[in-house]
Amino acid sequence: MTEQFDAVDVIRTKRDGGELTDAQIDWVIDAYVRSVVAEEQMAALAMAILLRGMTRREIARWTAAMIASGERMDFSALRHPTSDKHSTGGVGDKITLPLAPLVAVFDVAVPQLSGRGLGHTGGTLDKLESIPGWRAALSNAEMLAQLDDVGAVICQAGSGLAPADRRLYALRDVTGTVEAIPLIASSIMSKKIAEGTASLVLDVKVGSGAFMKDLDAARELARTMVDLGTDAGVDTRALLTDMSTPLGLTAGNALEVRESVEVLAGGGPADVVDLTLALAREMLDAAGRPDADPAAALADGRAMDVWRRMIAAQGGDPDAELPTARESELLLAPADGVLVRLDALAVGVAAWRLGAGRARREDEVQAGAGVELHAKPGALVRAGEPLLTLHTDTPERFARAREALADAFTIAPEGSRPDLPDSVVLDRVVAS
């Protein structure tokens, strides 16, 4: 077979600051999947994209080519409109768990395809797998049946969605090109568009515990993804949300499920509740339910009812006792004063080292491992009182977790105020 293009010519075009044509983009993605374009050639092209960037047209075509490498799901047969949420990942980010059943209360189908944790950011599937019997792998038919019956499903994406992205994602991870915004945006959006949802709300995290550390970079990523979704006919909007401090009071798998159930029962930490409601209102508005009141559905138990049905539909026991770690250790406040800083990245790394996360995709996670917070910034603390509880099945991990937390917090004199945003939601990006 004679190839339409030569990989070196495509690389040179982008290296020299040129725009790739639609035909070049279509060919290079297809040829990469066929292994005609070698790994080192795609690595060179990814680096050229990192350094030179892409136009809106190029990113849209690149995303479309990755979608075309696999299957597309179709939810048009469902009785209700569909809406989904994607988070760029953070520490203590259990929002998907209460959010999916909450939105489904209002006759909106929520097809939440989620992933596993890697490094300091937790994975939704790892959290739910701490529930006895719950399974992440569903066939397309099972997923559609559950959406039609329950209204919400949280499961792993099938291997047929954007297979080109799986190869490219792994390559970027080992070639220093993870930070390329066009490639981040197309990676996320190729899977979400292929998933087939009619509307999508993006939760783009900003801060030490997030992938995007500053607001300008996060806003650029959000704008790029909103444009991609809009161009593909998906009603897409984004919230930029704070990830300088962990969300809620837990980071870990079963720990976060427990906290999510508290939110569904009408309680839970204020920041988790606030962000769940903010994202729910965006999803409901995008799905044509602008007058819905998600706060009422949390308070009166309707969201909890859907949660229980959703967990049971995937083989889980919503009444089962969740796993707890065999060992725990307290980290105490060293002085009196006001806690003005608790670094999200440090807490995430500690939870990871305790066994809640994985360094490689094939690693096992501990269901009960993680970090429990006893104070958040703004709280008055006393010397010798617990600040954090560390949980693990393997106590030899405590030392490394403590190392991660050595400079994780700041206690200032009484009367001090933490330098925190007024709201967990920092900004909103909609279609231009």
Task: Name the residues annotated as catalytic.
Answer: 86, 165, 172, 187, 191
**What distance in Å separates the CA atoms of residue 6 and residue 208, rounded to the nearest whole number?**
41
**What distance in Å separates the CA atoms of residue 165 and residue 29, rounded to the nearest whole number?**
9
Residue corresponding to tokens 């937390």: 405
**What distance in Å separates the CA atoms of residue 298 and residue 275, rounded to the nearest whole number?**
13
Spatial contact of 343 and 408, defined as CB atoms under 8 Å apart: yes
**What distance in Å separates the CA atoms of residue 314 and residue 155, rounded to the nearest whole number?**
9
SS3 of 292, please?
Answer: coil
DSSP state of 397: G
Phi-psi region of 132 (alpha: psi -120 to 50; beta: other; left: phi over 0): beta
Phi, psi of 154 (to 5 degrees): -120, 115
Token code pair at residue 193:
């568009």
**What distance in Å separates the CA atoms of residue 190 and residue 225, rounded to the nearest whole number?**
10
Distances (CA, A) of 419 to 245, 292, 339, 388, 412: 11, 34, 11, 21, 12
